[in-house]
A = this chain, B = another copy of it.
């Protein structure tokens, strides 16, 4: 069996989740992939930092060049997050002929077309399944199995933190600030909750989905964005009396004139709508295509292990291509 070598940049929650899953199911994954998968190097800021998984110290380096410049690394997994320097690292990896796996939603939303154009020119793959919906298969199904459809609309609950907060507010009739403090204590919300509460995270994810569905005409600046900051317990109560649930929705739709509308905002959903029942940290995305009708994808939208599952799926897909084309 051939060996495909993987270099990680970053080893936070998702990186640890992916490596743990690769270890736990190594035999199964390699049999399915048809090749060996070897983690060759992991670039981290602080090699000595304690982590949830044990990692051979020889794999760790604080010098990202050891990943980017290693000619034996076939796939670079970027799980450091943020734009700078993640963007430069991803571009350099591609430039050097390496394929890339990333879950970096902000990066793909803002610079996806530049990254994918370079990847195309260099003949390498860039997979980013984990950037939307955690472990839920949505990006590749949209690109592949639903490729025959003109997509009319995508409607998603794509931010687990705000969905958890709204669910708690609904069930326990509490106010946002109160639930948010609890979510922060439980680790479901960041110390700085802006990205989630104000809808930035959902906006990035929406841009990624819309770019696939509608082509590269999608820009972050074109999204109408409103977070859940203005939702009060009494709004939820009134909505419930009328048979509605309040959810933070990310919506992308194309009208008959091919105009694209992109928006993230709290919305009233009739209780019978399939998305109304999506609670807690779960995510779900409804895709409406002219062939398939309505399909929905549902699951855990975040977390080490679900997002790790997406990263491993992306790695294996690239590894299969590499091995197939090498034979």
Contacts and interface: CB of A to CB of B under 8 A. Distances in A.
A100 B263 CA distance: 41
Nearest to A143: B32
A308 interface: yes
Contacts of A300: 292-295
Contact of A29 (B25, B147, B305): B147
Interface in A291-327: 291-300, 303, 305-306, 308-314, 316-317, 325
A55 interface: no
Interface residues of A, number: 50
A212 to B, nearest CB: 10
A46 interface: no
A88 interface: no
- Of the candidates A17, A28, A292, A306, the one having the most CB atoms from chain B within 10 angstroms of its own CB is A292
A136 interface: yes
A274 B294 CA distance: 17
Interface of A: 17, 21-22, 24-25, 28-29, 32-33, 129, 135-137, 140-141, 143-150, 274, 277, 289-300, 303, 305-306, 308-314, 316-317, 325
Give the 7 A-B residue pairs with the shortest CB-CB distance, closest first.
A148-B312, A295-B299, A291-B309, A137-B145, A135-B292, A137-B141, A145-B313
